[in-house]
Amino acid sequence: MILRVLEVTKTFSLGGSRFSALDNLTLFLSEGDFATVIGSNGAGKTTLLNVIAGTLRPDRGKVEILGQDVTRWPAQRRAKLIGRVFQDPLRGTASQLTVAENLALAAKKGGRGLAPLLSRGRRRYLAQVLASLEMGLEGRLGEKVAHLSGGERQALAVLMATLTRPKLLLLDEHTAALDPANAEKVLAITEKLVAEHRLTTLMVTHRMDQALAVGNRLIMMHKGQIVLDLDEEEKRRLRVEDLVGLFRKVGVSDDALLLATNDDGEKGMMAEEAKKLAHLL
Amino acid sequence: MLFLGALEQGLIYGLMALGVYLSFRVLSFPDLSVDGTFPLGAAVAGILVFRGFDPILAVLGALGAGLLAGAFTGVLATRLRIPGLLAGVLTMIMLYSLNLRIMGRPNLPLLGRPTAFLRLSQVFAIPRGWEALSIGGLFALGLALLLFLFLKTELGGAMRATGDNPQMVQAYGMSPESLTTLGISISNGLVALSGALASQYSGFADVGMGVGTIIAGLASVIVGEILFRPRGIAWHLLAVLGGSVVYRLAISLALRYGATLGFTASDLRLVTALVVLLALAAPALRSALRGETG
Ligand SMILES: Nc1ncnc2c1ncn2[C@@H]1O[C@H](COP(=O)(O)OP(=O)(O)OP(=O)(O)O)[C@@H](O)[C@H]1O
Ligand SMILES: [Mg+2]
């Protein structure tokens, strides 16, 4: 088992009241799982990725990677096991450094020696890797990343995040800020790299078609819980309309949920219902 | 004579400007502790020479004190999460008292005492009258080269990325907090070294000699950028040294000829601050003129 998130709760206080962004959530990922994650705004998707990556500490529960309890590890220590790409292309790269320097930092993950960042050998290797993106970036190794377009930057960020073949790849709506053509390109690059390195991946997306087309597992989150978890077979049978319907169903239950806040039984039932629904479809 | 003096000062104070470049430009950390670490360097080196230690050893002692003081500011800002500006001010204020304690008096005369300039120019057999220029230049260019080589290492690259995007640095397994602390430490080491050499150059150490260091440093960095438009790190470091020389020359000229315009030495800081203000506001002013907002 690559990842085990065990009964994790993360509560934020909001204007005096407290609410759970993650509510006793449990999730296992096996080697080679490529799970897409959907869920309405505020469902807790980003919070889940933050807890896994270590930029947020859970209030309760445990995070295990490769069987090791990493709950207390700081983010930079977990980084050796995890690759991450954010929604904002600006977040994944350093704009004042060159393309080559960014890649070299990613390749030397956690390295902090006094060796030159760019040796001739490493430069040649990085040019090769960049050429595999087929975006013509290999000729722009010496250029500042600030000069790249959003799509080029995000493609670079995906390449950087996968360069050291992390045990786990976390993608948070990483194509959402791009225009459709670039989003397609970056998604294609992501699928290619994930397949090539057989990376275990958790990909948050707000696009139902993407969630269905990509990966071999589908997870739906709602109010800090996983309300739907489909395997490859179930996922293949699902169409976008079915998914939208499921989404509505969960959304409609909101009122009922509001009447019975903190009634875990009710939420649990809802999850069961969604699961049953999925099988009916 | 005026030009030679400005060149000498530009190189000696250029070390301080390199330090400010590292904190302000590389780490995007406006570090005010330099107003305290510049006289700290002067105080530590001054008292060591005063007590009869070798002036080169005294300069190294100043470097060490600066590294420590900078690390202190770094820890305040990153581990104790005190806002960067305030962390610098706290260090600066503490150093004011500390510098007085180190020297035991507000002013320490060093005229007639051995200096690192004299000692080193004996080693390199430098003719009389050229000690300050050659040894100052050796320090400035030597440390600029070291800084350049450092910024091109893995560690230095990570430090540059920290000023740019700390989240990315963390996502790639390094601690932006540690990198910032290390950078601020190195920066203040350079500033204290500059203070030590400046005191040996001018023949005294004074607790008040640090006031306005940050502004002078920023002015050097910005003047260098505007005049030389450097591309790449190596040129940027040289431009900072060039900016420092131009800045010292401008001050010498102002002091020499300013009187005829009714300008006195006490107006110096006002003018310097106005120059820095204009340079920092230039991007905003330019877009305001073009009618852009935000
Ligand atoms: N640092 C924080 N402090 C307070 N509340 C937070 C914090 N981070 C997240 N939240 C809240 O937690 C809830 C879950 O947020 P999260 O970002 O995980 O949602 P999400 O599923 O990623 O939504 P989106 O699709 O909009 O990105 C939201 O209501 C959000 O406002
Ligand atoms: Mg989110």
Atom of ligand 1 minimally distant from the CA of A49: 18
Q: What is the pLDDT of residue A271?
A: 52
pLDDT-derived band of residue A253, with 50, 70 and 90 as boundaries? low
Are B192 and B69 contacting, i.e. CB atoms less than 8 angstroms apart?
Answer: yes
Q: What is the mean pLDDT of residues A67-75?
A: 94
Say if residue A275's pLDDT is above 80: no
ipTM of model: 0.89
CB contact under 8 A, B154 and A113: yes
Residue A277 confidence (pLDDT) above 90: no
- The whole-number average pLDDT for the span B141-149 is 98
CB contact at 8 A, A63 and A4: yes
Gap between the Cα atoms of B196 and B193, Å rounded: 5
Band of pLDDT at residue A272, cut at 50, 70 and 90: low
Confidence at residue B7, expressed as pLDDT on a 0 to 100 scale: 97
Q: Is the pLDDT of residue A255 over 60?
A: no
Torsion angles phi and psi, residue A3, rounded to 5:
-130, 135
Q: How confident is the model over B55-66, as pLDDT tens digits?
A: 999 999 999 999
Q: Compute, in angstroms, the gap from residue A196 CA to the centroid of ligand 1.
A: 32
Residue B294 has pLDDT above 70, yes or no: no
pLDDT, tens only, B163-191: 999 999 999 999 999 999 999 999 999 99
Residue A121 to residue A131: CA distance in whole angstroms = 16
Identify which of B155, B160, B168 has the shortest CB distance to residue A93: B168
**Chain A: closest CA distance from residue B222 (Å):** 18
Of all residues in chain A, the one with the smallest CA distance to B26 is A96
Ligand 2 (ion): residues with CB under 5 Å are A 46
| CA gap B198, B186 in Å, rounded | 18
At B293 the pLDDT is 60
pLDDT-wise least confident of A48-52, A115-119, B202-206, B281-285: B281-285
Instruction: Report which ligand 1 atom has the smallest distance to the Cα of A87.
Output: 27
Report how far ligand 1's centroid is from the alpha carbon of A43 (Å).
7
For residues B280 and B139, which has the higher predicted lDDT (pLDDT)?
B139
The three-point CA angle B103-B109-B110 to 5° equals: 100
Above pLDDT 70, what percent of chain B?
99
- Asked if residue B265 has pLDDT above 80, the reply is no
Q: Which atom of ligand 1 is nearest to the CA of A44?
A: 18
Q: Strand (E) positions, A95-199? A: 168-172
State the DSSP H helix or E strand holding residue A29, giving kind and residue range, or none if neither.
Answer: strand A17-29
What atom in ligand 1 is closest to the CA of residue A221?
A: 21
Which residues on adjacent β-strands are paired with residue A10? A22
Distance A44 CA to ligand 1 centre (A): 6
Average pLDDT over residues B20-49: 97
The pLDDT of residue B273 is 85
Question: CB contact, 8 Å: A107 with chain B?
Answer: no
Q: Which of A11, A12, A25, A55 to mutate to test the pocket of ligand 1 (most atoms within 8 A of CB)?
A: A12
> Residue B290: its pLDDT value, please?
84
- Asked whether residue A243 carries a pLDDT value surpassing 70, the answer given is yes
Above 90 in pLDDT, residue B253? no
Angle at A70 between CA A69 and CA A73, to 5 degrees: 145
Verify whether the Cβ–Cβ distance A109 to B173 is below 8 Å: yes
The per-residue pLDDT for range B33-42, each reduced to its tens digit, is 999 999 999 9
- Cβ contact (<8 Å) for B153 and A116? yes
Residues B157, A117: C-beta atoms closer than 8 Å? yes
**Does A55 contact ligand 1 (Cβ within 6 A)?**
no
Is the predicted pLDDT of residue A268 greater than 50, yes or no?
A: no
User: Nearest C-alpha to atom 9 of ligand 1 is from which residue?
Assistant: A47
Determine what percent of chain B is predicted with pLDDT higher than 90. 82
What per-residue confidence (pLDDT) applies to A246? 76
Which of B284, B222, B248 is CA-nearest to residue B25? Answer: B222
Q: Is 70 exceeded by the pLDDT of residue A266?
A: no
Q: What's the confidence (pLDDT) of residue A109?
A: 82
Q: Distance of alpha carbon B293 from its chain centroid, rounded?
A: 34
Q: What is the pLDDT of residues A150-198, one digit of tens each?
A: 999 999 999 999 999 999 999 999 999 999 999 999 999 999 999 999 9
Residue A263 phi/psi, 5-degree rounding, is -85, 95
Map B120-146 to HEC letters: HHHHCCCCCCCHHHHHHHHHHHHHHHH
